[in-house]
């Protein structure tokens, strides 16, 4: 285990009879990192989150929280975790202040420090103006903020957020993303979601789980490099023979698309767009489109999860 690891998960599996919900999952989380946990519905994301937070026992495997074995010393380990499940555990008939004081007591914050903890947490989560309001009367966005507040009121080392922006409007989503990034500066954050732009805009690293198995793990910075364009969409009214296009410096492959356009492949860092445009004008090819094709996280996600589903189907035969 890395000495700076806040979470270390080793050979984690969870079975329900003959059904394998999570299979041999391994990963670490370090301080100052926001880890995006992606996967299709039913892939095992929430099950993994429940096991990490001590709400569900693993069938096999070891989980260490800040160096503490979660199964051997659950109280000590859980004290280092703040958890926001997909459905926030809110008491809607309480005011925000009443609820947060209750959460502070649950997390064994000493009585003389509760007022300070509640005040600081409200400031951190933007709840100062709604402290006396009933939770039931708050907007969905503010209720999510209260859910995050209960997860961090005891200043845990690790914050686990399961689908924190589901059902929020665009402005609320931006505010919650900003809060998550701020939390990630001083803690370790695990963000479980199926909203791909959320991962790209919020996380430092992404992992993809499919059919209960961890099938992908990489840093966002590396993914951004992979997503640099190496193809161009080329639309020509009078397209030439492929040989003429391949003769243009930088063009490595010409692919005909069903809609009549061409996909021009080129090496990374050697974009032939200007040369193609010049030839199209000179030769009178009737250029009407020349745009880069960018690979997105969605493409990577679909490619990986689709291939996993095919492998599962083939293996079942």
pLDDT (tens digit per residue) in 99-133: 999 999 999 999 999 999 999 999 989 999 999 99
Helices (H), 53-95: 74-78
Q: Quick one: CATH architecture of 1-80+156-227? A: 3-Layer(aba) Sandwich (3.40)
Task: Check: CB of residue 231 under 8 Å from CB of residue 292.
Answer: yes
Query: What's the CA gap between 197 and 184, in Å, rounded?
Result: 17
pLDDT value of residue 315: 46
- CA distances to 50, 216, 306, 313 from 303, rounded to whole Å, are 27, 11, 5, 16
Residue 187 — very low, low, confident or very high, per pLDDT cuts 50/70/90?
A: very high
Residue 163 — very low, low, confident or very high, per pLDDT cuts 50/70/90?
A: confident
Q: Given a cut of 60, is residue 312 above it in pLDDT?
A: no
Q: Where are the domains of the chain?
A: 1-80+156-227, 89-155, 228-293
- Both tokens of 117, joined, read 């903890």
Of residues 212 and 194, more confidently modeled: 212
Nearest CA-CA partner of 4 in 32, 27, 34 = 32
Q: Given a cut of 90, is residue 245 above it in pLDDT?
A: yes
Q: In percent, how much of the chain has pLDDT > 70?
A: 91
Q: Given a cut of 50, is residue 314 above it in pLDDT?
A: no
3-state class of 111 per DSSP?
helix
pLDDT value of residue 20: 93
- CA distances to 180, 190, 217 from 124, rounded to whole Å, are 11, 18, 30
3-state class of 202 per DSSP?
helix
pLDDT value of residue 310: 40
pLDDT value of residue 311: 52
Model pTM score: 0.76
Q: Quick one: CATH architecture of 228-293? A: 2-Layer Sandwich (3.30)
Of residues 42 and 206, more confidently modeled: 206
Q: Given a cut of 80, is residue 232 above it in pLDDT?
A: yes
Give every CB contact of residue 138 below 8 A, 6+ residues apart in sequence. Answer: 96, 130, 146
Task: Check: CB of residue 104 under 8 Å from CB of residue 95.
Answer: no
Give the mean model confidence (pLDDT) for residues 169-187. 88
Task: Tell me the helix, strand and coil percentages in the chain, rounded to 5.
Answer: 40, 30, 30
- The burial of 161, by beta-carbon neighbours within 10 Å (0-12 exposed, 13-18 middle, 19 or more buried), is given as buried
Residue 175 — very low, low, confident or very high, per pLDDT cuts 50/70/90?
A: confident
Q: Given a cut of 90, is residue 295 above it in pLDDT?
A: no
């Amino acid at each position: 285990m890395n000495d700076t690891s806040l979470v270390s998960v080793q050979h984690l599996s969870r079975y329900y009879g003959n059904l394998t919900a999570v299979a041999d999952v391994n990963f670490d989380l370090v301080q100052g990192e926001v880890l995006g946990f992606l996967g299709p519905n039913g892939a095992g994301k929430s099950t993994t989150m429940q096991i990490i937070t001590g709400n569900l026992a693993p069938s096999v495997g070891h989980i260490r929280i800040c160096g503490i074995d979660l199964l051997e010393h659950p109280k000590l380990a859980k004290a280092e975790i703040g958890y926001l499940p997909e459905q926030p555990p809110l008491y809607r008939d309480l005011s925000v202040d009443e609820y947060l004081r209750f959460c502070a007591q649950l997390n064994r914050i000493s009585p003389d420090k509760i007022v300070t903890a509640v005040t600081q947490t409200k400031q951190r989560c933007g709840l100062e103006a709604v402290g006396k309001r009933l939770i039931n009367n708050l907007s969905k966005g503010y209720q999510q903020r209260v859910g995050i507040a209960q997860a961090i009121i005891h200043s845990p080392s690790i914050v686990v957020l399961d689908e924190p922006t589901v059902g929020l409007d665009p402005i609320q989503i931006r505010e919650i993303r900003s809060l998550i990034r701020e939390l990630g500066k001083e803690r370790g954050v695990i963000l479980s979601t199926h909203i791909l732009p959320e991962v790209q805009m919020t996380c430092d690293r992404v992992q993809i789980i499919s059919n209960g198995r961890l099938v992908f793990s990489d840093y966002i910075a590396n993914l951004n490099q992979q997503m640099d364009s190496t193809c161009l969409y080329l639309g020509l009214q009078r397209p030439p023979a492929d040989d003429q296009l391949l003769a243009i410096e930088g063009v490595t492959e010409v692919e005909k698309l069903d809609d009549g356009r061409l996909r021009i492949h080129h090496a990374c860092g050697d974009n032939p767009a200007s040369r193609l445009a010049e030839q199209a004008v000179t030769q009178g090819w009737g250029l009407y489109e020349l745009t880069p094709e960018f690979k997105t996280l969605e493409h990577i996600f679909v490619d990986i999860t689709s291939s996993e589903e095919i492998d599962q189907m083939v293996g079942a035969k």
